[in-house]
Amino acid sequence: MSLTIASVEAIALAAPFADLYDTVPDWLTTPASSHRVLPRLGQYTTLVRIRTVDGIEGIGECYGLPEPRVTATIVGTLLAPMLVGRDAGASEALWELMFGAQSGAGRTGGFYLEAISGVDLALWDLRGKAAGLPVHRLLGGPVRETVPVYASPIPFLPDVAESAERAHAFLDQGFRAMKLKLGRGEATDLAHASAVVDALAGRAALHVDLNCAYDVKTAIRLGQALDGLGVRWLEEPLATDDVAGLAEVRAAVRIPVVTGESEFSRYGYRDFLLARAVDVVMPNLARAGGITEARRIAALCDAFHVTVSPHGVGSAVGLAAALQFAAATPNVPIYEYNRLPNPLRDDLPLTKPSLVDGALAVPAGPGLGVALDESLIARYEVFRA
């Protein structure tokens, strides 16, 4: 069997919220404080298909926000020419080839690394299919066969009663942990957090995400107040690049401090680890270099006794990849299971994951273990490269 790459294709998908709602609610277009300037108008992703000369196909995903046609263009025009004719089984070598091609130009993050991520996930999917094994077996797993998850998010709802109602709904669906979006001012944040804590009544853990809304002093003050409510997770209280500030926050609060969904490689995470600024990091496999780089990030974090919880925004492909990665990585205790309306995550796969006892089963099929509805790909396609 030859694993020589014959073709690399990128498909940008868009599912506008306007197609899902007669009137799109504000909490959906502005699910976090960071979206006030650039509202989210839909769900987006870039699929990557890699085929070998023998017809084996792997599928991956590039992070699609805010515009999937950008990563599709990079895959189709920059990465594909590097890959065609090479051995798809040599994923480590191909990752270094792609990364090295732009490292001298300083393009080691952003859309370029998101494009590499989609290619890398497709290569792992292809290798698993060629071997007839799920990716977690290629990675040395499983260390777990189900992955605990938390529901994300309880968004910016207008009043505390609605936040409490959303928490009750997640409880009824079987979640044992959930995330509340904050970042609207201390008084508003504490009012919503208190309402959710009361609604949960100790039946589920509460995580909060401040989405970079505050300065150091405010974050410390709010973090200490949230600790008094029993909150167990303080995510992104500061600007994503404020490493020293985050170290101050971590030293001053007892709640585990979480960041990293906007980082792109082990080099960025290294700075947070050396500064002792973080308890949990959140790489998104569709933007942080795919499974190849996520393994390096996890190993680096483990050396600092820091856990990894993959960021959960994306399509069904990214979800399957995160579950495969978590199944083979000891220091991944929980995964963010995003529950905002998203047909690219929920409708695209032919088999939907089920939540049992607060956890998702790891796909057992070869590769990433996800098969997609081709008619829906055609429906949501906006660009192909």
Residue among 357, 341, 350 at smallest CA distance from 377: 350
For residues 38 and 116, is the Cβ–Cβ distance under 8 A? no
Residue among 305, 309, 276 at smallest CA distance from 294: 309
CA separation for the pair 155, 152 (Å, rounded)? 8
For residues 185 and 210, is the Cβ–Cβ distance under 8 A? no
CA separation for the pair 327, 140 (Å, rounded)? 9
Torsion from C-alpha of 187, 188, 189, 192, nearest 10 degrees: 120
Catalytically active residues, by annotation: 311
CA separation for the pair 99, 176 (Å, rounded)? 39
- Apex 292 CA angle, 291 and 298, nearest 5: 75
Question: Token digits for 314?
Answer: 């994306």
316-328 vs 290-303: helix crossing angle, rounded to 10: 40
Distances (CA, A) of 380 to 74, 121, 321: 20, 21, 21
CA separation for the pair 95, 174 (Å, rounded)? 39
For tokens 């590097």, what's the residue? 82
Q: Which residues pair with 207 in a beta bridge?
A: 179
Name the DSSP class of 34. Answer: G
